[in-house]
Structure 1
Amino acid sequence: MKTQFNIGNLEFSKPIVQGGMGIGISLSKLAGYVSKFGGLGVVSAVEMGSNYPNYQKNPKAANRQAMEDHFKRAKEISGNRPIGINIMVALTQYEQLVKDAVQTGYDIVFAGAGLPLTLPELTRDSLTKIAPIISSKRVAKLILKHWWRHYEVAPDAIVLEGPLAGGHLGFKPEDLVPERLAQQALPSLIPGVLEEIKPYEDLVGRQIPLIAGGGITSATDVRDTLEAGADAAQIGSRFVATKECDASPVFKEALVKAKQSDIEIIVSPAGLPGRAIHNHFLEEVKAGLRHPVNCPINCIKSCDFKTAPYCIALALIAGKQGDLENGYVFSGANAYKITEITTVEALIDELTKELSH
């Protein structure tokens, strides 16, 4: 089994992609070190400048500056290796963020939490590669068909996120109950997506690598994912529990201490189900005690503060900073298997140890 993979002319010595995690969980430090040690590091574009002094007065300007700063830092840390950026389609500033990422020089844009139907138009005539994040064979077919019909463009890569992923999920709540999850193991979803990709590989005369993730925590999970046909494994939660992760120590410890019974499905103000670690803040949300009084950030297209259960941006910023009275921690379904905080280098070595050359 090959241990390296390519996205066009971008080469990676390890078949590991670090999932983009907002707000402020995967920034330049985590992404830079993942790329340094052979994987693909990915920053999250969601409110990147939330810790900048001018953020409350001018969040757009702070986020724009942070996008450039974190790109530069990640490139320095990684030794100028490829750096990706994850931009949620659900964001109010989605189109502008993609254009800014291209202008800044990010090597690849990952777009999910909605259908990135116009992504080829937003990145036209640039060197930035594009990868939609999908949850099923059906969504893969829809995006591939739309991009080809409207732009004669095929993705540079595709990310398949299964139902065990953390954060926002592209599944209906009824698909996230235990009995349905048992029928949707990540390796079983891969062949169907590969079927949809193959005709477009023939059309463009190049490989369209498939990156698959959601619940991957061990070297065996990585091996099983690659043996099922994926070119790389995407991993989020395990990278949170690293010294290089940009989150606060309190946030990381919440993940390490979580039991299986603590991990739950919540309804996000983004209109999507999400997976998070249960805490007092989420209990207050369920009791209707966290309604926002205004919309200070206007981050998500579908969020109306008058009906939203809470402000997700403020909750995730608080969580990242370790204030779990006013925020919470997104996590994958298997985060309870994480028992310690390690380093990015040691984690990548551990995750790839079952792959033979």
Structure 2
Amino acid sequence: MTIRVWNYTAEYEAERADVLDAVDSVFRSGQLVLGPSVQSFEEEFAAYHGLPHCVGVDNGTNAIKLGLQALGIGPGDEVITVSNTAAPTVVAIDALGATPVFVDVREEDYLIDVGQVEAAVTGRTKCLLPVHLYGQCADMAPLREIADRRGLALFEDCAQAHGARHHGRLAGSMGDAAAFSFYPTKVLGAYGDGGAVVTSSAQTDQRLRRLRFYGMAERYYVVETPGHNSRLDEVQAEILRRKLRRLDGYVAARRAVAARYAEGLGDTELVLPRVNPGNEHAHYVYVVRHPRRDEIIERLKAYGIELNISYPWPVHTMTGFARLGHGQGALPVTERLAGQIFSLPMYPSLSLDLQDKVIDSLRRVLETV
């Protein structure tokens, strides 16, 4: 049996009856687009975060894009973010005609280095976009202070941080708005694509609802501002509604896996994830570091373990963003990490036996590299 970074099949078997009932209930409802399941999920997901508004959209990338657009971000504006992230964070900024401006991350936690943000602000800066990477929240208080003092929007990328907390507050509840992805691998994952934006602003909520539906305030009426076709699917919404009730359990199970890894690998040469004071990590992925990363990954294949790298290519080094003018050396910490980080298997249904195999196999490989 090959052990991979993520596998949903055991979870599906445990929840199969509920998933199939969710699908059947939607098919029997007679409403397949923007029906009661989307509305109910939006209400429940907003309530989970202690916020009044949630707008479901078709994927996490469009959640960022439409969320930024609803906050007034557009062509010529600058958005400060990081390069150590999944490419969709930056793709969404670029799709609006805005310019991503990168700051480096901190070596100890891979999160945005808040100390570099102020110097990156220009007259064109309109938004700060921290990424709550790998399941841990960025340091939000100083970002909020900078945003308020400089008149900037603060938009959270929570694609990897469902259920994570920062000084008691849930990821997504600390900015002007926040984007979530429900891609199947996520802490709260659908059985296909999905996304959402949460906000405390009624105005932002109304803009989002128009933007996801061609720019119309009501169905098949007048386009007020040209928008998109970016609706959350009714079937995925109903599945997500039911999985939302289990979200805290998913997070607890991930933390238990992380604790066993920490116990089993804490005395090795691996650099294990750091959980910052005041943070409650959701452990979307369990990212470790080693200077001989590539050799370790290759040798583990002999033990039936196939690992992943999140992420091997910083966004600023990708060909598609070469026009931004960031060459090698522009973000030294991000670039150094990209050559050393890799992810261990992490999902709630990962059995104790499989966890032990990962730990034991990795220890054996580390003895020989």
TM-score band, normalised by shorter chain:
0.3 to 0.5
Q: TM-score, normalised by structure 2?
A: 0.32
Structure number with bigger Rg? 2
If asked which structure has higher relative contact order (CA below 8 Å, sep 6+), I would say 2
Query: Normalising by structure 1, what TM-score?
Result: 0.33
